[in-house]
Structure 1
Amino acid sequence: MQPHLKPFQLFITKAIEHIEQDPDTVGLAAGGSWASGEVDAYSDLDLVLVTNRKIAPDLSLMQEYAAGLGLMLASFRGDHVGEPRLLIALFESSLLHVDIKFLTPDEFYDRVEDPIVLWEREQTLTNIIQQSSAHYPPFDFQWTEDRFWIWAHYAALKVGRGEYFEAIDFLAFVRNAVLGPMLHLKNSSLPRGVRRAETTFGVAELSQLRRTVAMPERDVLVSSLWEVMYLYESLRDALAPATFQKNSAAQLAVTRYVAAL
């Protein structure tokens, strides 16, 4: 076993020993970097725990179950990512970050990826995976276009008012919600924000993305906003489907507004 895998495997082994004692638990699977074979020393562990007894979204039940997997230092529910069935936890063993999604067998049919089954009763998870397909949420170009120029104008307002840190945060949001996913699509990968951008995007693309990162200074922020708009426009025109409708009027108005800053 490779050294960096040992903490993960030790945790999984102890977790299985615990859940085997619960007759309501039917399976444990791992997604994310474990499923893709990209685990390194800085990875977290994405687990899917499937039980006949509905545990989520009851936070106390989720924490009670997770506490049996190891010494848990802290945990909270994934409400901030719209997933109340997810418990995000930090375990003392190797200071391991573990995300645990609590599902019932019926809920396991609806998934964004096919995880690696670590343990199961009566082939429950394997059968569900064979009977259904994983679907990662697609990037919605029209939804993005309908919002992008309002977002760009909002960033410009913050720069104009001198709220530079607010503008920086907003540009980071656009980078994660719009530019990163589009660059991933361009590189034939899943639209996962700016995850693994450094190893997925090309040299020229990374250079473009770097220019969207600003310091809290007016001229730098204006320049970064221009770069955000340029990059969005080029990716949109290259990737959007034929049914896509540009909002040319909003784009022109916002472009003129930024030019006058």
Structure 2
Amino acid sequence: MNYPKTLPETHKQLLDKIITTLKKDQRILGIGASGSYASDAMDKYSDLDLVIAVNPADFDDIMTERFTIINSIEGKIAAFTGEHVGEPRLVIALYAPHAIHVDYKFVSLPDAATRVDDTKVLWEKDQLLTDTFKTKKHQYPCPEPQWIEDRFWIWVHYAATKIARGEYFEALEFLSFLRNVALSPLALQQAGLTPSGVRKIETRLPEFSKELELTAAKPEKESLIIATNKCIELYLELRENEQIEINIEAQEMCVTYLKQETQA
């Protein structure tokens, strides 16, 4: 098998065990790898992001037995399902002795075509996974500028209420949401890059990252006010590059509300 050059030896050893085990199950029709494996950008901290394509007739049984299957791979020490990221088909596991994180996404074979990034086939029966991938191009979810504009000023209002009420940790979490859902994806998309939230933003957009640092606050009123205003400033700069319908009334009201309700 032609593994990517950046695949660490520790990951390769575990991947060999995983493939050897899974391909013995006649219900499994293919195994793919996405993420940093597919882009040949792995390091010792990388996860193994695996897609396990299953015969549709056997999918329910596999879902019932998936922990038994994963437990049969030597080294597994912990695992749980991915409801917290909205993906119940996902099992997240950790393997000894090198503390390697593995994501197993179990899908019915036809559903493997729907994917957010490139996926390399590691093993398959009769070209089934390769042929499935050919039916649809991978597509990363992109931010919709109008969708963000329609929500941004209500988001600002929400942040203002949390600061004004003294719910500082709640406000901190919300500023993180703005960075991950609006600011970073817009900046990355405008730069022609995959809009994957704040992931590796420091190296992908270093100048923007410096500005983004100013949106990170302490759980203190004044720090949160400064950071929220920086979020607004960055959003307005990004919005200049988009052709959208601007809700100036909402903008003016919510910016004024932030100023009035959070002033000392």
In which range does the TM-score fall when normalised by the shorter chain? over 0.9
Residues 79-117 of structure 1 show CA distances to partners (whole Å, capped at 9, x for unaligned) of 122111111111223111111100111111211122111
Question: Gapped runs of 5+ residues in structure 1?
Answer: none
Match of 1:219 among 222, 227, 240: 222
Mapped pair 1:133 → 2:155 = no
Mapped pair 1:232 → 2:230 = no
Match of 1:54 among 31, 35, 59: 59
Match of 1:72 among 68, 76, 101: 76
Higher mean alpha-carbon deviation, 67-76 vs 145-154, is at 67-76
CA distance in 2, matches of 1:218, 1:19: 53
CA distance in 1, matches of 2:7, 2:211: 33
CA distance in 2, matches of 1:3, 1:250: 49
Partner of 2:252: 252
Q: Secondary structure at the match of 2:101?
A: strand
1:220 maps to amino acid: S
1:91 maps to amino acid: Y
CA distance in 1, matches of 2:128, 2:212: 44
Q: Secondary structure at the match of 1:168?
A: helix
Partner of 2:206: 202
Q: 8 Å contact 2:142–2:185 — kept in the other structure?
A: no
Match of 2:191 among 187, 191, 210: 187
Q: 8 Å contact 1:30–1:48 — kept in the other structure?
A: yes
Q: Show the 5 A alignment for 1:1-261.
A: 5-52=8-55, 53-55=58-60, 58=63, 60-203=64-207, 205-238=208-241, 240=242, 242=243, 244-260=244-260, 261=262
Q: 8 Å contact 1:57–1:85 — kept in the other structure?
A: no
Q: Secondary structure at the match of 1:181?
A: helix
Q: Secondary structure at the match of 1:40?
A: coil
CA distance in 2, matches of 1:56, 1:172: 39
Residues 145-204 of structure 1 show CA distances to partners (whole Å, capped at 9, x for unaligned) of 22111111111111111111111111111111111111211221111110111110132x
> Structure 1: which 4+ aligned runs deviate by more than 6 Å?
1-4
TM-score scaled by length of structure 2: 0.91
Q: State the number of aligned residues.
A: 256
Percent identical across equivalent pairs? 38
CA distance in 2, matches of 1:192, 1:185: 9
CA distance in 2, matches of 1:129, 1:56: 24
Q: RMSD between aligned alpha carbons?
A: 1.8
CA distance in 2, matches of 1:56, 1:157: 48
